[in-house]
Amino acid sequence: MNADNLAGDINASLNPEQRTAAECIEGPVMLVAGAGTGKTKTLIHRCATMIKSGISPINILMVTFTNKAATEMRERLREMVGDSASHITAGTFHSVVYREMLSRYPDSSYLAEQGIDMANVGIMSDADSRKLLKESFEELGLPAKAYCDEHSIGLSDLDSQMGWARSRGYSLAEYRYQRVSGNEEVNPDFALVVEELWELYSQKCRAAGGIDFDDVLVVCAHMLEREPTIADSLGQRFRYLMLDEYQDTNPVQMRIMDAIARQHRNLFVVGDEKQSIYAFRGSDIQVIIGFLGRYQDAQIINMIRNYRSAPPVIECANAIAAAMNQRVPNSDGQLLAEAKIEPTPVSYYEFGNDLREASFIAGGIAKRLKAGVTGKNIAVLYRSRPIKQELERQLIAQGIPYLLEGDTAFFQRAEVRDTVALLRFVFQPWDNMAALRVLGSVSLGVSVNKVNAGLGQDSTVYEFLQAESDKRLKTTKAGIAPRTAAAKKVRAFLDVVDRTRECYEHFDDAEVLVKFVAEIWRIFFLPRVESAAKRATASQAQESVDLRKQNVGFVLEQFQEALGRGLTAEQAIEDLVLMAQASPDMDEEQDGKVRLMTMHASKGLEYDYLYVMGADSESLSAKEAEHFNDIEENRRLFYVAVTRAKRELCVTWSCQRLQHGQTLSTEQSPFVAEVLQHTGAGVVRG
């Protein structure tokens, strides 16, 4: 399709590479978008170009790394094409696969074979998954437990291996085959324990009527490959596929999208192999590097004009890129500095110990704030959280406000998880995991242990509670015996739950519905919150209760807003579960706070003034890396960190660092040495 004449006006503001990407519609395309080159703008213009060219928005699927990114793109697209933007399908891999693939093909023979009834299956939260995984670990047989004890293997080790296997699309049977066939990546003795845990965990998930995040993708990939007619049906619906952050894609995600695109081959992927930093989550840089091998006729477009960072920052980034060995073909990875920013040389500081390093950074931040720089425009990045402990103490001592990004997840707070579980139980009464979470947070006279002991294999907690609500006192007097005290409480609780659900089924008023749910929380959940708060001082107790009320109110506001957008209650709940990866900060003064975060957490962000601390051989290097891939990923992580800087960048390290109670002697990271050699920059020793 030639989009030049049809959409030329809307693309007039794009540079030549962006415009080429926006108007290259048919066939496989890889857009290698370097840091700060305007990939989001290009993606939105490409969507607008397709719609303006006559392509129906219902035929467009855009997969993003976060729900926030999907929302932002849809809103910006609406500014360009109007209400048509509402009809594209956009979301994360998990949300798109669950809603648009698994849920739309409940009669799949593969799903039936796996015992998955989509009418009675809900996507599980991370907390629920961890709970079942922990239970499964505790139920391992004696040989497996002995092996774990002997080799100091914990649940996290086994979970990590399961995650790795499922990121590659392995089912349990396929993982077992990898062990039997002698795959070098699979330790046979260790794999036997993983298989036992995996089987127990899968059984518990199915019994609870749940499917976890990893399983969503694995099941879908197998369904599409076992039943190609479903893949072709999805290909007919989604004739134009767009995948953002392709460098962070894992093999199972690749298999899903390749299966859907196999007929029309209209697959547009956007990524930058230099920013592939999530191998620990299962992403595989070979997916983006191997794109040309799978689509040999693909068009490759390189976007290298950086509009974010000052020239000295770009020089530093280019030096790191020049040392990388895992690269996309036909791209040298070098950026061009296009930002109109007064250049300030990148500074490199070496200190005798981490106390001096932290004191220097805190002092520099204090000067910036005194000069009128807003706190949110200053950030400090580090490889791992322990590195910033001394810096925190220095900031506190100097009265500098800061915000730890990513360290406290809003949706992991107990009252928030309770509220999401309550919504799931009200509108999905068959959801056993939610019901057990609710039961553990209220006082109904029925314990979770009692339910677990008395629950039948095919029954639900809701049915169990119904039976409990009708239990009577033993009496010899004539007439019907009164209910027990526990039965009365359970009956009262179920009554309001049932009435809320009936209100939803018969009335279309989101505000009233949320008021019903809020009242349930006030009556049954708040007493526990107030009781727990009483263990603190009076003022702290009230602050604690008020904060929890605000958090619950925020969750219910999100639920009401989703209903107002036309989502069903089930879809609104899925939204809450899917977005529960991070919490919005509730502090109204957050703009004045300096940002502290790991390098991984900084991905996609940018700051005027940036410190990269702990750039030493222990904290940021290949020293602990056992594999070439690990060395390369550490280097890419450094690249991601420095490309967050807009105006000024300062890289620091110390020669001695306190770690796990011991003083370690360190030196500059070899990655820093590569930059210094490439740029000729000097080091200031403080």
**pLDDT tens figures, 246-300:** 999 999 999 999 999 999 999 999 999 999 999 988 899 999 999 999 999 999 9
CATH topology of domain 321-407+588-685: Rossmann fold (3.40.50)
> Could you tell me which residues come within 8 angstroms of residue 389 by beta carbon, excluding any fewer than 6 positions away?
none
Task: Check pLDDT > 90 for residue 683.
Answer: yes
Residue type, 100: E
- 151 or 586: whose pLDDT is higher? 151
Dihedral sign (CA 537, 541, 544, 550) = negative
> Could you tell me which residues come within 8 angstroms of residue 238 by beta carbon, excluding any fewer than 6 positions away?
59, 60, 61, 89, 100, 260
pLDDT at 507 (0 to 100): 77
- 183 or 451: whose pLDDT is higher? 451
> Whose CA is closest to 398, among 367, 353, 352, 354?
367
Task: Check pLDDT > 80 for residue 456.
Answer: no
- Split at pLDDT 50, 70, 90, the class of 71 is confident
Least confidently predicted of 239-243, 344-348, 576-580, 667-671: 576-580
Q: What is the mean pLDDT of residues 580-586?
A: 39
The percent helix, strand, coil of the chain (3-state, each to 5) is 55, 15, 30
Least confidently predicted of 65-74, 275-284, 452-461, 572-581: 572-581
Between CA 272 and CA 247 the distance in angstroms is 6
Sheet holding 594-598, edge to edge: 402-404, 594-598, 378-382, 607-612, 645-654, 347-351, 684-685
Residues 147-203: tens digit of each pLDDT: 999 998 999 899 999 999 999 999 999 999 988 888 777 889 999 999 999 999 999
Residues 136-148: tens digit of each pLDDT: 999 999 999 999 9
* Average predicted confidence (pLDDT) for the chain: 89
Q: What is the mean pLDDT of residues 222-228?
A: 96
Strand pairing partners for 36? Answer: none
pLDDT at 311 (0 to 100): 97
Task: Check pLDDT > 70 for residue 20.
Answer: yes
Residues 193-209: tens digit of each pLDDT: 999 999 999 999 988 88
Q: What is the mean pLDDT of residues 504-532?
A: 87
Task: Check pLDDT > 80 for residue 532.
Answer: no
Dihedral sign (CA 421, 585, 580, 619) = negative
Task: Check pLDDT > 60 for residue 409.
Answer: no
Between CA 467 and CA 247 the distance in angstroms is 52
Residue type, 158: L
CATH topology of domain 412-581: PCRA; domain 4 (1.10.486)
- Split at pLDDT 50, 70, 90, the class of 88 is very high
- 314 or 389: whose pLDDT is higher? 314
Q: What is the mean pLDDT of residues 539-566?
A: 77
- Write the DSSP symbol of residue 125: P
C-beta separation of 591 from 376 below 8 A: yes
- Split at pLDDT 50, 70, 90, the class of 506 is confident
Task: Check pLDDT > 60 for residue 349.
Answer: yes
Provide the token pair at 445.
């006279």
Helix (H, G, I), strand (E, B) or coil at 551: helix
Least confidently predicted of 75-79, 108-112, 559-563, 662-666: 662-666
Provide the token pair at 511.
């505000």
pLDDT at 539 (0 to 100): 44
pLDDT at 584 (0 to 100): 35
- Write the DSSP symbol of residue 274: G
Which residues are part of a known binding site for ATP?
A: 33-40
Q: Up-side HSE of residue 386: CA atoms within 13 Å toward CB?
A: 9
- Split at pLDDT 50, 70, 90, the class of 407 is low
pLDDT above 90: percentage of residues in the chain: 64
- Split at pLDDT 50, 70, 90, the class of 479 is low
C-beta separation of 430 from 573 below 8 A: no
- Write the DSSP symbol of residue 476: -
Task: Check pLDDT > 90 for residue 486.
Answer: no
CATH topology of domain 16-104+227-303: Rossmann fold (3.40.50)
Domain boundaries, the chain: 16-104+227-303, 111-217, 321-407+588-685, 412-581
Q: What is the mean pLDDT of residues 94-110?
A: 94
C-beta separation of 424 from 434 below 8 A: yes
pLDDT at 581 (0 to 100): 40
Domain 16-104+227-303 matches domain 321-407+588-685 at the CATH topology level:
yes
Task: Check pLDDT > 60 for residue 588.
Answer: no
Which residues are part of a known binding site?
A: 33-40
Between CA 283 and CA 168 the distance in angstroms is 9
Helix (H, G, I), strand (E, B) or coil at 685: strand
Task: Check pLDDT > 50 for residue 522.
Answer: yes
Strand pairing partners for 306? Answer: 337
> Could you tell me which residues come within 8 angstroms of residue 462 by beta carbon, excluding any fewer than 6 positions away?
425, 429, 430, 435, 494
Provide the token pair at 663.
């003083």
pLDDT at 122 (0 to 100): 86
* pTM summary value: 0.77
Residues 600-647: tens digit of each pLDDT: 999 989 999 999 999 998 888 755 556 888 899 999 999 999 999 999
Between CA 94 and CA 71 the distance in angstroms is 15
pLDDT at 386 (0 to 100): 76
Between CA 66 and CA 603 the distance in angstroms is 12
C-beta separation of 417 from 411 below 8 A: yes
Between CA 301 and CA 200 the distance in angstroms is 47
